[in-house]
Amino acid sequence: MGCVHEETFRAMRQSIIDGAPEAAATLAQKSFVLGIAPLEAIDQGFVPGMNDVGEQFTLRTVFLPDMMAAAEAMKAAMNVLEPVLKQQGTERPCAGKVILGTAKGDIHEIGKTLVGTLLTAHGFQVHDLGVDVPSDHFAAAAADLAADIVGVSALLTTTMRGQKAVVEAIEHAGLRPRVKVIVGGAPVTRRWAEEIRADGYAKDAMRAVALVQGLMGSHSDTIRVS
């Protein structure tokens, strides 16, 4: 038997493939009425649409303007869903300070922003440095804001080395091991995280929350994976 929301998820996926921000925003609104949890709408509706567009881009059946339109539609959906996700964290005591950003040369922001939203929802104070962030900016922000965790997202195989540069910058600034560095993004693997001596790696946004919670409560030097 199929899921009762299957049709809505399919329409959400299609709104991203079509690059249709208005339809995506309307479906995001509709999810509240239907009792679909925001994270469920993201994971089962909108993100599969982004993945589909990415695969078609690899196959050259869609092109850069289509990918940009898909990202606009995704952002329109997130604009509706994010405030509700964030609301859950507003009345909690601060669970820790996290600096987030996308590695130098990389402008993919959707996954990184989702990680930030979920961390906020779980009571973390998040400072988002945005996209295309040089490694020394991560280190300066970590020192200025007395951060506990620095998270670096990379969506391109070529910008993953920016994550390594952040680990080194944090080290050179004398902030390690107090400040932990975590990495993520579609091409990033646990093996890469180990190779660059990051403190942790998470495959998706929910796992990033579990990872950060674990690191806040741990004094271990071993790498964590969520």
Residues that bind ligand B1M (CB under 6 A): 47, 50-51, 53-54, 57-58, 64, 67-68, 70-71, 105-112, 114-115, 151-153, 155-157, 182-187, 202, 204-205, 208
Positive or negative, the CA dihedral 18, 19, 23, 25 is positive
Residue number with CB closer to ligand B1M (36 or 119): 119
> Smallest distance from the beta carbon of 1 to ligand B1M, in angstroms?
27
Partnered with residue 183 across adjacent β-strands are 152, 201
Residue number with CB closer to ligand B1M (1 or 225): 225
Residue number with CB closer to ligand B1M (32 or 57): 57
> Smallest distance from the beta carbon of 75 to ligand B1M, in angstroms?
7
> Smallest distance from the beta carbon of 110 to ligand B1M, in angstroms?
3
Residue number with CB closer to ligand B1M (2 or 206): 206
Cα gap 167→183, rounded to integer Å? 10
DSSP 103: B
Partnered with residue 125 across adjacent β-strands are 97
Residue 147's CB is within 10 A of a number of other CB atoms, namely 25
Residue number with CB closer to ligand B1M (2 or 65): 65
Contact by Cβ (8 Å): 199, 223: yes
Cα gap 139→162, rounded to integer Å? 13
> Smallest distance from the beta carbon of 71 to ligand B1M, in angstroms?
3
> Smallest distance from the beta carbon of 123 to ligand B1M, in angstroms?
17
Length of the chain: 226
- Alpha helices for the chain (secondary structure H): 6-17, 21-34, 38-40, 47-58, 64-87, 110-121, 135-144, 161-172, 190-195, 205-216
Residue number with CB closer to ligand B1M (91 or 151): 151
> Smallest distance from the beta carbon of 87 to ligand B1M, in angstroms?
19
